Amino acid sequence: DAKTTQPNSMESNEEEPVHLPCNHSTISGTDYIHWYRQLPSQGPEYVIHGLTSNVNNRMASLAIAEDRKSSTLILHRATLRDAAVYYCILRGSGGSNYKLTFGKGTLLTVNP
Amino acid sequence: DGGITQSPKYLFRKEGQNVTLSCEQNLNHDAMYWYRQDPGQGLRLIYYSQIVNDFQKGDIAEGYSVSREKKESFPLTVTSAQKNPTAFYLCASSNRDPGYTIYFGEGSWLTVV
């Protein structure tokens, strides 16, 4: 079973910020939060990841709640190329944590 | 350049035949994964391997088999026991460090005719 919960779909307008939420209430102290996105008929690509502190890179920002039970991927200015399925996953280490499971993700639609 | 290569990109299979999808990586990653994706659906884990000569079943392993004889290779065989094999198949690899990025191949489309 996926360890994260995301809305099935979200919609945004071009050049507006987008906040994609992810709930992971059963996260353990050593689990990293990863975000990937997938364009149609392509393999997912890495977006961002973090452990406890908020993270920024050229693609996006990751805001992690203080209790780590939720996180938000922030696209500061959505473009048409950002339209994709976004997956939030937890990645831990050891034993069953090596089993990487993805949920259905959030389908982001960007309107021109 | 380093990366993951899946082949073939498109494959057609007759009912009752086994087919093997190739996945090769030159990233020196210990961990490799196979996922299946049906139209409009998320990724479902078929098999995964954390080290050479060892692999574990994922959530939908029935009708599939894998081997991990070399670090860089993790082929997936879709057997005739898989009742509905038509799907998009994705291979991924990474280091076992949970703070490390997961890299995906471009995927293989399998169609049963």
Of A12-21, A90-99, B72-81, the poorest mean pLDDT is in A90-99
Angle at A81 between CA B94 and CA A77, to 5 degrees: 100
pLDDT band at A101 (very low <50, low <70, confident <90, very high): confident
Does residue A2 carry a pLDDT above 60? no
Report whether A61 contacts A74 (CB < 8 A).
yes
Does residue A1 carry a pLDDT above 60? no
List chain A residues with CB under 8 Å of B59.
Answer: 101
Total beta-carbon pairs less than 8 A apart between chain A and chain B? 68
* Of residues A44, A17, A10, A72, the one with CA closest to residue B101: A44
Q: Which amino acid is at B16?
A: G
Nearest to A32 among B35, B92, B98 (CB): B98
The confidence score (pLDDT) of residue A92 equals 87
Q: Which two tokens stand for residue A101?
A: 């499971």
Mean pLDDT within A20-45: 94
Does residue A32 carry a pLDDT above 70? yes
Q: In degrees to the nearest 10, what's the CA dihedral of B4, B8, B10, B14?
A: -140
- Alpha-carbon span A105 to A37, nearest angstrom: 9
Does residue A96 carry a pLDDT above 80? no
Residues of chain B below pLDDT 70: 1
The confidence score (pLDDT) of residue B96 equals 85
The confidence score (pLDDT) of residue A93 equals 79
pLDDT band at A63 (very low <50, low <70, confident <90, very high): very high
* Of residues B89, B12, B11, the one with CA closest to residue B46: B89
Q: Do A101 and B102 touch (CB under 8 A)?
A: no
The confidence score (pLDDT) of residue B59 equals 94
Angle at B33 between CA B17 and CA B27, to 5 degrees: 115
The confidence score (pLDDT) of residue B68 equals 98
Does residue A10 carry a pLDDT above 60? yes
The confidence score (pLDDT) of residue B1 equals 62
Nearest to A98 among B43, B48, B101 (CB): B48
